[in-house]
Amino acid sequence: MVEVLTLLKNRADVATIVSEVGMESGLVLEILETCEALGLVRVSEGDAILTEQGVSFSRKRYSGKIRVLRDLVKNVEPFRSVIHYMASKKQPITVEQLCKDLQLCDEHPESISRAKSFLLDWLVTTGYLEYDGENGSFRLKRGVKIS
């Protein structure tokens, strides 16, 4: 979303974004909400606007973006709760168990799949969690310090 807004001169109304990316408006709004929680975007009067932090983020290379996201996600829900929950577990946890314990989603396969994608996309990518595809389980990555 930050890249889309960068291409649109750092500001665009939500309808323009929906048209540009070809996604459902509800999904675009969810993405904008996440970007806003991370401090990368501000939504005001139907416009999405890159913050200074968002502009700085857009200028970074991939590895720099991952480092920024790593610093941001640890303070934003539900990422924060998942990280702390995983830090309290000695054994790897399945996404189904995590969803049940944290009430992240219901038991429907589609919800479980979305939760798994969420964990892979955000917390594995930023280096907080490790995923064991053979067992379908997650655990806190070795060496991660929780403050």
pLDDT cut 70: percent of the chain above it = 99
What integer pLDDT is reported at residue 143 of this predicted model?
Answer: 85
Query: Which domains, from first to last, does the chain contain?
Result: 2-58 (1.10.10.10), 62-140 (1.10.10)
pLDDT at 105: 85
Secondary structure (H, E, C), the chain: CHHHHHHCCCEEEHHHHHHHHCCCHHHHHHHHHHHHHCCCEEEECCEEEECHHHHHHHCCCHHHHHHHHHHHHCCCCCHHHHHHHHHCCCCCEEHHHHHHHHCCCCCCHHHHHHHHHHHHHHHHCCCCEEEECCCCEEEECCCCCCC
Residue 130 φ then ψ, to 5°: -115, 150
Read off the pLDDT band of 106 (50, 70, 90). Answer: confident
pLDDT in tens, 36-64: 999 999 999 999 999 999 999 999 999 99
- Burial of residue 50 (number of CB atoms within 10 Å: 0-12, 13-18, 19+): buried
Using the predicted structure, report yes or no on whether residue 107 has a pLDDT greater than 90.
no
Residue 104: what pLDDT? 86
Q: pLDDT value at position 144?
A: 87
pLDDT at 147 over 80: no
Q: What is the mean pLDDT of residues 20-26?
A: 91
